[in-house]
Every structure is written in structure tokens, then in C-alpha cells.
Amino acid sequence: MPSQEQSRPQRRDEEPDEAPAPATAPEAAARKDALDDDIDSVLDEIDDVLESNAEEFVRGFVQKGGQ
């Protein structure tokens, strides 16, 4: 029965050359802080391309069902 304590597969030593190594935990935490810091600049960029009339845009996006 799996549980939090169960040993888990360790990251392999022989990683393929083309795959970048995933960030370690401290790196990921630092990156997350950086993301929080500059989310406002991202929103500013996204603001520029957002559909101007959101309500009309949403209402106009009507699809027929498919598979």
C-alpha cells in the first residue's frame, strides 16, 4: 500500500543529453518567488492583448459538439 513514507524511484543518473535536469527544490522555491515578484509585469503584458470586450467575446464563442 503506497504512502508518503514509501521509498520512491530516485532520479536516474543517466539522464538523456537533450533533457535538462529538473530544478532542485531550492531552485524551484527561488524561481517561485521570482514568479510572484514579476507576475505584475506579466499581467501588464497580457493586458495589451486581451480581447477588449470580454463579455461579448465569451458570448460569441459558441461551438458545436464534436467527438
- Least distance CB 52 / another protein (angstroms): 10
- Give the shortest CB-13-to-another protein separation in angstroms: 8
37 binds another protein (CB under 8 A): no
- Among 5, 22, 26, 37, indicate the residue that binds another protein (CB under 8 A): 22
Q: In whole angstroms, what separates CA 66 from the centre of its chain?
A: 27
8 lines the binding site for another protein (CB under 8 A): yes
Torsion of CA 7, 13, 19, 25, to 10 degrees: 50
Cα separation values, 30 from 24, 40, 43, 53, 56, Å = 10, 17, 20, 37, 40
Residue 5 in the binding site for another protein (CB under 8 A): no
